[in-house]
Amino acid sequence: MKQGKLFTVLAAAVLGISAAGFPAAPEEPAGIVAEAADRQYITSGSFRFSYIPGNPNAMLEKYLGSSTSVSIPSSISTSNGQKTVTGIASYAFSTQVNHQQYPNPMNITSVSIPSAVTTIGDYAFYGAPLTSLNLPSSLSNIGKCAFRECDSLTTLYIPASVKKIEDNAFDDCSALRQLVIAGAARMADYVFYNCENLRIVQLHKDCFAGSNAFSCCTRLELLNNNIPWNKAAFLAGSAPVIYQYNNIPRILNHCFRKSCQVKFIDEYCSALCMYIVQTETRPWMSEAVKARVLYDWLINHCEYEDGYDEYGFSTEARSDADNQVASSVFLSYSLNTRGNGIGETVCEGYAKAYKMLLETAGIESYIVSSNAPANHAWNIVKVDGTYYQCDVTWDNDSSSGSQISYKHFLKTKERMNQLHGFTHNLPDGSNEHPLLVDNYHNGSYANQHCLYTFNDNNGDGLLDWDYDFDGSITSNDIAQYQYLQSVAPEVTQARWLYLCILYN
């Protein structure tokens, strides 16, 4: 996606751990096993280490003890000399062995990690009941699921030295409330997924995050010392606006655009939908007019994904996660990523955004989709008691210039199947955003009763009620209607009032 697209600081800085460790344990020759080419293994106290002769470093392979508080030695003595402990291997302290769950007899609540450790392996502390965690300033890489389901952690400071955090590293840390990432870390997918009590986050301006890195953080409110948008001003009557300071737009763009069910994003999108409906629709409008006005807004304020990233490089795919989430239109629009408030998405983003706008306006709607190879998404809309289908994506056609097309607006399912050239599935359900949840509708019923269409008898792609053919219904249409009524009696007032009770 082309994108030029509140944190209260933690009360005390988390300090690095002292390099001092256990005294070097005596070597146990009987514990050495050549399990890999040149790699030697040694048991020292409650720890099993590995090292390569000639290399000054050692890896902690497994903790063998039962203490709740553990201090990892900073070095070990071997027949090949003193070795500095620089890594913690996969599964070293976790409740998993070869991806199988086992009871954790260690019950480790705290661990002291030596100051020279640079890597923590996959699943290293998976499921450990850690209540505190001090990561050393030497640390560079945190492995996949390394601290997953450490559900007693409440605060976390990730030092500036950390450059990469792998998939699901802190997934399901359900007690985590405060997070600081001090440096330009690259987060993979689902890193903080389902940290349901995470409320306060402070991120470096150059952090990047993959898909769903913060998804299901349903209480996350504060980013870099602020609610990221003017919530108080909105509640007082102002338009909802993303704050443009403290690197908030940059961080939202780099770290949150691929996540959903994040509290401050959901609240912002809901507020923006409310503002759009309040400013674009009027009480006199029928549901048909409201559906069309919101259709127009979406087409005028969003473009189809062009495959270019924020730096102008062709590195993005239309299948990227930031095009599939409910916020894909509203967040990119709000960040003014293409200039003049233009967002970017694909069919799924269009369909979700349109449903959110319609639901805000009190209009029943659904998302439907097709199977491969089309893999397309659009909407069912209930207008004035009748179900129709609408395809915002296919009517957002740049080839038509400034004229909005309505060839796929308010059609029967049969007519839409003809226009598409493929059929569709039943309406999709979603809990991605409160405005997408079909908790009081019958999607199957809507699909089976989408039997009517608005007329386009002249085949121009516009509704026949758009009398001046400008793509909108205005006072000019009333004047045109009055003229047509005088020369064409079949254009009745009743037919016109079906769309518009009064213009004021």
What percentage of the chain reaches a pLDDT higher than 90? Answer: 47
Question: 393 and 284: one domain?
Answer: yes
270 is a domain residue: no
Give the model's pLDDT for residue 429: 63
Question: 343 and 483: one domain?
Answer: no
Domain boundary among 259, 283, 304: 259
> Contact 253/337 with Cβ under 8 angstroms?
yes
Give the model's pLDDT for residue 400: 45
Question: CA distances (Å), 376 to each of 36, 212, 292, 346, 372, in order?
Answer: 50, 22, 21, 9, 8
Give the model's pLDDT for residue 1: 45
Question: Is residue 94 very low, low, confident or very high in pLDDT (cuts 50, 70, 90)?
Answer: confident
- Burial grade of 490 (CB within 10 A; 0-12, 13-18, 19 or more): exposed
493 is a domain residue: yes
pLDDT, average across residues 405-422:
86
What are the two backbone dihedrals, phi and then psi, of residue 111, each rounded to the nearest 5 degrees? -140, 135
CA-to-CA distance for 458 and 230, rounded, in angstroms?
Answer: 47
CA-to-CA distance for 305 and 1, rounded, in angstroms?
Answer: 6
Give the model's pLDDT for residue 469: 46
Question: 190 and 85: one domain?
Answer: no
Question: 305 and 434: one domain?
Answer: yes
What percentage of the chain reaches a pLDDT higher than 70? Answer: 72
Give the number of domains in the chain. Answer: 4
Query: Minimal CA–CA distance to 187: which of 205, 161, 214?
Result: 214
Question: 400 and 290: one domain?
Answer: yes
Residue 404 belongs to a domain with what CATH number? Answer: 3.10.620
Domain boundary among 108, 128, 148: 128
pLDDT, average across residues 217-240:
94
Is residue 176 scored above 60 in pLDDT? yes
Report residue 277 as tokens: 């409906």
Question: 247 and 193: one domain?
Answer: yes
Question: Is residue 353 very low, low, confident or very high in pLDDT (cuts 50, 70, 90)?
Answer: very high
User: E strands, 185-333, where?
Assistant: 186-187, 200-203, 208-209, 222-223, 302-304
Is residue 455 scored above 80 in pLDDT? no
My answer on whether omega of the bond before 23 falls inside 30° of 0, hence cis, is no
CA-to-CA distance for 195 and 174, rounded, in angstroms?
Answer: 5
Q: Collect contacts of 28-34 with beta carbons under 8 A, ≥24 apart.
A: 29/79
CA angle 121, 179, 161 (to 5 degrees): 50
53 is a domain residue: yes
Question: 321 and 429: one domain?
Answer: yes
Question: Is residue 398 very low, low, confident or very high in pLDDT (cuts 50, 70, 90)?
Answer: low
Give the model's pLDDT for residue 322: 66
Residue 73 belongs to a domain with what CATH number? Answer: 3.80.10.10
Report residue 89 as tokens: 């291997």
436 is a domain residue: yes
Question: 3 and 111: one domain?
Answer: no
Question: Is residue 438 very low, low, confident or very high in pLDDT (cuts 50, 70, 90)?
Answer: confident
Q: What is the pTM of this model?
A: 0.80
> Contact 159/16 with Cβ under 8 angstroms?
yes
Question: 291 and 331: one domain?
Answer: yes
What are the two backbone dihedrals, phi and then psi, of residue 232, each rounded to the nearest 5 degrees? -65, -45
Question: 75 and 123: one domain?
Answer: yes
297 is a domain residue: yes
Residue 9, domain extent: 1-16+135-259
Question: 295 and 435: one domain?
Answer: yes
CA-to-CA distance for 382 and 292, rounded, in angstroms?
Answer: 12
Question: 380 and 405: one domain?
Answer: yes
Among 357-371, 373-387, 477-491, which is the least confidently predicted range?
477-491
265 is a domain residue: no
Residue 185 belongs to a domain with what CATH number? Answer: 3.80.10
pLDDT digits (tens, 9 = 90+) for 177-226: 999 999 999 999 999 999 999 999 999 999 999 999 999 999 999 999 99
CA-to-CA distance for 170 and 149, rounded, in angstroms?
Answer: 7
266 is a domain residue: no
Is residue 338 scored above 50 in pLDDT? no
Give the model's pLDDT for residue 125: 94
62 is a domain residue: yes
